[in-house]
Amino acid sequence: AAALRGSFIRKAQLSNKSSHCLQVQASYKVAVLGAAGGIGQPLALLVKMSPLVSALHLYDIANVKGVAADLSHCNTPSQVLDFTGASELANCLNGVNVVVIPAGVPRKPGMTRDDLFNINANIVKTLVGAVADNCPDAFIHIISNPVNSTVPIAAEVLKQKGVYDPKKLFGVTTLDVVRANTFVAQEKNLKLIDVDVPVVGGHAGVTILPLLSKTKPSVSFTDEEVKNLTVRIQSAGTEVVEAKAGAGSATLSMAYAAARFVESSLRALDGDDDVYECSYVQSDLTDLPFFASRVKLGRKGIETLIPSDLQGLTEYEQKALEALKPELKASIEKGINFVQKQS
């Protein structure tokens, strides 16, 4: 339950006291692909702070040497190695337990996540192909947008390579949960550390569906509060894109959210039996093949999808769930078709 409510930082603080973490040994290898970027750099810093990481492999097509040299001076356990360009990708991925992919271009004002499709689809396809060849057992965290399509692309690539394990492929939607928790705590004057809002569906516009009725601790909202909070959570990414005015999209909050998801995955790999996160994954909870929901993580990836959040929805949530399905379905099909038409 603490994992459900707690933030990455709080977990790190708690970890000094918990019996599980007293046994922590730095023994996992994490690779970040796109490590010199706006997300990649702060993400690498946060992962460098993890006591569970023994090696941090940083890959990019440029500028990664300096990032690695800089980070390597932090006196935390992990060894930092840099890898530049396609010829070094296989070495980067060798023996890695968790691969995080924030490679690609971010949005500019006026762009939707889908506008990034043409560039990022190819990048994700290539990188996941290399993951399939070099570390097919790794957990794969996809950050590159449009996540609603890039995760189905990754699944198709892994299938073609004969190594697809749906329990280990994740679209990172943690930022939607992080935002929902923050905005709800502010609106209802709650202690932030206690707040947990499940966010389901996908990771773009109306496909992002915060289930405010399932907020923990239990709290009531007026219809207007539900509408305003839902819209703010759905458009929070655009809020940042506009504030940055052409300089990119969310990077720092995204790095924080991605680091939380990495830490959760490492704790699950390490045998912690109480690890839950929301993620966009292959799913049978709805009639869509991919869907974000809460999942329980274990040593082998997803142990179970958590269906209970989708039961007993309010009328507003039920309608929003039905309304998001056509867009999400189209994004999934776009991703699948992208890979299938090239083969």
Binding site for ligand NAI (CB under 6 A): 33-34, 36-40, 60-62, 102-107, 116, 120, 123, 127, 143-145, 147, 172, 175, 203, 248-251, 254
In whole angstroms, the minimum distance from the beta carbon of 17 to ligand NAI comes to 31
Q: Which two tokens stand for residue 116?
A: 């990034």
Do 185 and 191 form a contact (C-beta atoms < 8 A)?
yes
Q: Which of 20, 57, 141, 203 is catalytic?
A: 203
Based on CB atoms, which residue is closest to ligand NAI, 47 or 175?
175
Please choose, from the candidates 60, 138, 128, the residue with its C-alpha nearest in 3D space to the C-alpha of residue 95. 138
Q: Whole-angstrom Cα distance, residue 152 to residue 158?
A: 10
In whole angstroms, the minimum distance from the beta carbon of 94 to ligand NAI comes to 17
In whole angstroms, the minimum distance from the beta carbon of 250 to ligand NAI comes to 4
Q: Which two tokens stand for residue 218?
A: 């239990």
Q: Which two tokens stand for residue 134?
A: 């070099």
Q: Is 57 a catalytic residue?
A: no
Q: Which two tokens stand for residue 324?
A: 């998001």
Based on CB atoms, which residue is closest to ligand NAI, 120 or 282?
120
For residue 85, what is the DSSP state? S
DSSP-based three-state secondary structure for 56: strand
What interhelical angle do 223-234 and 315-340 show, nearest 10?
A: 20
Do 210 and 230 form a contact (C-beta atoms < 8 A)?
yes
Based on CB atoms, which residue is closest to ligand NAI, 37 or 301?
37
Based on CB atoms, which residue is closest to ligand NAI, 2 or 243?
243
User: How do 208-210 and 139-142 pair as beta strands?
Assistant: unpaired
In whole angstroms, the minimum distance from the beta carbon of 342 to ligand NAI comes to 16
In whole angstroms, the minimum distance from the beta carbon of 225 to ligand NAI comes to 24
Q: Compute the CA torsion angle 118, 335, 144, 26 (nearest 10 deg).
A: -140
Based on CB atoms, which residue is closest to ligand NAI, 34 or 301?
34
DSSP assignments along 124-189, one per residue: HHHHHHHHHHH-TTSEEEE-SS-HHHHHHHHHHHHHHTT---GGGEEE--HHHHHHHHHHHHHHHT
Based on CB atoms, which residue is closest to ligand NAI, 175 or 275?
175
Helix (H) or strand (E) holding 329, with range, is: helix 315-340
In whole angstroms, the minimum distance from the beta carbon of 114 to ligand NAI comes to 11
Which residue lies nearest ligand NAI, judged by its C-beta?
A: 37
**Letter for the amino acid at 63?**
N
DSSP-based three-state secondary structure for 32: strand
What residues are labeled active site?
203
